[in-house]
Structure 1
Amino acid sequence: MISQTEITGLILAGGRAQRMGGIDKGLIPFHHRPLIESVIHRLRPQVGSILINANRNLEQYSTYGFPVISDDDLSFSGPLAGFAAGLKACPTEYVVTAPCDSPLLPTNLVELLVTKMTEGSFDLVYASSKDPAGKTWAQPVFCLMRVSLSKSLEEFISLGDLKIDRWFKELNSSTVVFDSESAFANINTPEELLTLEKASS
């Protein structure tokens, strides 16, 4: 079994947040505290250490006491760039990722991803959720992966492809379907922020 100390949590806060008017999403107030604090609160007990991937406001993010790493290419090229930076900086054999704008992420996220990875000796396991109609949706920015995938990801990015699902298809990967769709709710617009605050108050 993979122990908690072997896993580093990588919080992805490197996006442009264009639909939020370009505001740094991790620092937007959610229930009177920055969004990233809710993510740290839920992820920290599940992992051995934390890394924060950010491309601006680095000083502000560093006040949380965790290493802050930026993408190699500061063109805000999406989650895979954050993955790549995290895999390079990760001090452990495994890394689990979560975005900074999903404050209700499952408290058993790592436990279930680890169980699936161990069962099938997978290189990467990502979360999926089920909506009320029973349809399954991939939640690829919530994933557990072996740090040994760093080279594979660098090669994939170097070909100019930034689609997460395409990279996953090249790997020995699997998914875990979580019952709670709301656990993966993320905030892309001011309206979604208000809706999620009301739903979680």
Structure 2
Amino acid sequence: MVVSGTSAPAGNVAGLILAGGRGRRMGSIDKPFAPLGGRRMIEHVIGRAGRQVGPLAISAAGDAARFGVFGLPVLADPVGLEAYSGPLAGILAGLEWAAARAAPGAEALAVFPTDTPFFPEDFVERARAALADGAEVAMAASGGRLHPTAAVWSAGLGDRLRRLLVEEGLRRADRVADHFRAARVDYAAQPFDPFFNINTPEDLAAAERLFR
């Protein structure tokens, strides 16, 4: 399923920022706090995500206190999956948080990688249109490339995702479409890719040029 149009503004959608990457290719720095455009990278993501969702949380490993300045809940990986520390475990934590504590009536969970600070302002709006058409997960795509960790998940998928992680060993986010009804939300990659991912010092320098 491919979604190319727009829809009504986002409704009751919770948000999750994936901030668990270890930044090995950037010298093992704490990537969410990398300087970008005069701010910390995660601040750009919080700003863009906060304009598209209701309650917002951060999924991160390590000392949660370092995120305290942002005033958002910080979610550890779910019990029994602490050693996994991958994006799907973080997404599961977000689904369970939204269902139990953040917004029990939420229709969906929007997921934003912390190292993708240029994602479009209408991403949640367009992804919701895909869910309304019958998809369970709507994933971003740009320039013909899928970005499975930038996605909007229908509420109520937590139990199934937990079973896939625990019982079937699902680990790769790019295999989500094998287990859920998935849609692509396509964006052009010109004049620049809105899902440009910052993984290296060179990427960070390129992102800085975009801000300028």
Runs (4 or more) in structure 1 with deviation over 6 Å come to: none
* CA distance in 2 between partners of 1:74 and 1:15 (Å): 14
Q: What percent identity do the matched residue pairs reach? A: 33
SS at match of 1:148: coil
Aligned twin of 2:159: 151
Count of aligned residue pairs for this structure pair: 195
Aligned twin of 2:194: 183
Report deviation, 1:47.
0.7
Aligned twin of 2:178: 169
* CA distance in 2 between partners of 1:65 and 1:5 (Å): 22
- TM-score, L = length of structure 1: 0.90
Aligned twin of 1:133: none
Counterpart among 171, 183, 206 of residue 195 in structure 1:
206
- TM-score, L = length of structure 2: 0.86
For the pair 1:64 / 2:75, whether they are aligned, the reply is no
Counterpart among 88, 113, 125 of residue 127 in structure 2:
113
Native 8 Å contact 1:14 1:70 kept in 2 = no
For the pair 1:127 / 2:140, whether they are aligned, the reply is yes
- Opposite residue 49 of structure 2, the aligned amino acid is L
Aligned twin of 1:142: 150
* CA distance in 2 between partners of 1:40 and 1:97 (Å): 11
* CA distance in 2 between partners of 1:169 and 1:53 (Å): 24
